[in-house]
Structure 1
């Protein structure tokens, strides 16, 4: 009971502290020698002036959309800019300042870290957002500015393996002039939400991976240049298309139609109308199913894996139809050779012909079914592995 009461008291204390920090407000003053074009300086242990260390933490909170036609991914990015500046809190009016403070006057005087965004079509500077009204000063005199902003990442899609396609879309934030000591860029892993209203997002399984420094295991890396090592952070958005809808709506039904077409070999060759109607119906149904699936494919000129499957279907159907067309042709030649008026001869020849066509159908059924099963197995093994 005492332990639970202590836990409740601790949690209540933390919540109360956070609420008091949010509701408390102060007017943070900036030293007169600050310039919006130059980074502020502080003194190191040796008394030399060095750039003010600034931390920028970022993380994806939402995947908003995936646009396959224009190659864009919309994300909502959370930015947290954090730093401790002794020069600011050395001023008498700032020593007891903590809580939220207005950014209107502060933004116009404080230097903004220059950042470069790689593979980004649309973004905003987190410090220059006019809609952002307040920042926060913590009790240990750290200035924190948090903002959510929309970004559009340029992603190079390769649809040649569609619908087995996978895409990797990198997103990088690089300091333009500052090294790791002056500007520390970090990416924090969040569990992003997804825009459920966007059908394009539901078509993919989405994974987000942080770029990692292999030597330290931190979520940042370093760009080595002749003059300084630039800080860089970011993430990789990995898109893998959800295959289940295509298996249940296209691959499975179309394969079933082809296997059902094998039943035509059981139909006697002399039942021309029934056998032809059966094959034509299955062929048209398969074509309609393929067209309805191709309409949903990405509008690209590349040869897709989906097209290759359609060629397998058409080739198998063509073999089945050509085999029966060859039988009809031979039957016509037998009838022409024997003569319609010679009933006995016609019956003998036709009986021999029927026995031969039965064997021919069995062989053709074996060849066609083996071809389709083997090609299907190779197809799925190649694209799934």
Structure 2
């Protein structure tokens, strides 16, 4: 029994060492004449169609939409796939049983893309050695970059706290025009990640959509994808902390007309109501964006109560 076990162990070790050596040799041969800065096509004439890059965006967590700064904070990861005509091999004869490799994103060509309305770092690829690409023997490349974005979003608070906001994320190719590669929507183009998604306590996602198109800048046309997120504010918290106190203050304000004029406490009650409305208006204004394009109807109502 012992000799048979020893033979099995030796064969397993030999196979693993041989498999590792084949992968090392394959990796060396693929990288020897490969330049990650060049488009991975064998014939890049203008008559050939551009490289097709399929994209899907997954929403992992929605941190929130800040009304004051008008920023949408969320975590995403992309699913990119394309065909690399250079980084490929024969896994049937030359490199047996090696059908896929995992390589660093810096060692192969990846599309250079930017989130143009991100207020921090617009590049999707960080350019470091922490990103990897899954490569199959037929040249199919799969890339999963992840990033937390802070994108600008014009907030319309006119219907606060029952408002619905539409935020956009714009991904563009800057250095390669549409003759080099074209972005295509994969499936719906955007959806929430079933495994990673975390609900937000303030905002509910009503709809997610993606729209690929091409825009013209100077003399060339570039590929682009617009992602649209429609968010609805969860109003339960704001009804308790904002709407309900305001209704009570409105009812108390109406009692001013009931108090007789000769009553000495009428002036003091009016001043108390006036100061309370001023403080309440200030508290609401602290959470509102300093914009004159849209003003909350609730702010108008409070202002009318102050004039009353």
Identify the residue that residue 111 of structure 1 maps to in structure 2: 109
Identify the residue that residue 66 of structure 1 maps to in structure 2: 65
Pick 1 or 2: higher relative contact order, CA cutoff 8 A, min separation 6.
2
User: Aligned partners of 1:310, 1:245: CA distance in 2, in Å?
Assistant: 19
Q: Report if the CA contact (8 A) 2:202-2:233 is conserved.
A: yes
Can you list the C-alpha shifts for 1:223-249, whole angstroms capped at 9, x where unaligned? 357866532213123344444444443
Higher fraction of strand: 2
| CA drift at 1:181 | 7.8
User: Aligned partners of 1:313, 1:178: CA distance in 2, in Å?
Assistant: 57
TM-score by length of 2: 0.67
User: Gapped runs of 5+ residues in structure 1?
Assistant: 1-23, 197-201, 213-219, 317-385
Identify the residue that residue 315 of structure 1 maps to in structure 2: 307
Residue 83 of structure 1 pairs with residue 82 of structure 2: yes
Identify the residue that residue 233 of structure 1 maps to in structure 2: 225
Identify the residue that residue 300 of structure 1 maps to in structure 2: 290
User: Aligned partners of 2:182, 2:279: CA distance in 1, in Å?
Assistant: 56
Alignment length (residue pairs): 273
Q: Report if the CA contact (8 A) 1:257-1:282 is conserved.
A: no
The match for 1:283 among 248, 270, 273 is 273
Aligned residue runs from structure 1 range 1-150, under 5 A: 26-27=23-24, 28=27, 29-30=29-30, 32-42=32-42, 52-90=51-89, 96-103=97-104, 107-108=106-107, 110-121=108-119, 122-126=121-125, 128-132=127-131, 134-138=132-136, 142-150=140-148
Q: Return the index of the structure with the highest Cα Rg.
A: 1
Residue 256 of structure 1 pairs with residue 248 of structure 2: yes
User: Aligned partners of 2:216, 2:112: CA distance in 1, in Å?
Assistant: 18
| CA drift at 1:172 | 1.4
TM-score by length of 1: 0.56
Which SS does the other structure have where 1:42 is aligned? coil
User: Aligned partners of 2:291, 2:221: CA distance in 1, in Å?
Assistant: 42
Identify the residue that residue 171 of structure 2 maps to in structure 1: 173
Q: Report if the CA contact (8 A) 2:112-2:125 is conserved.
A: no
User: Aligned partners of 1:180, 1:208: CA distance in 2, in Å?
Assistant: 32
Q: Report if the CA contact (8 A) 1:135-1:144 is conserved.
A: yes
Which SS does the other structure have where 1:80 is aligned? strand
Q: Report if the CA contact (8 A) 1:79-1:146 is conserved.
A: yes
CA gap of 1:123–1:194, structure 2 versus 1, over 3 A, is farther
Q: Report if the CA contact (8 A) 1:60-1:78 is conserved.
A: yes
Q: Report if the CA contact (8 A) 1:73-1:153 is conserved.
A: yes
CA gap of 1:49–1:232, structure 2 versus 1, over 3 A, is closer
Can you list the C-alpha shifts for 1:103-136, whole angstroms capped at 9, x where unaligned? 2xx733x33322232212224443734212x432
Q: Report if the CA contact (8 A) 1:79-1:126 is conserved.
A: no
CA gap of 1:179–1:311, structure 2 versus 1, over 3 A, is same
| CA drift at 1:82 | 1.9
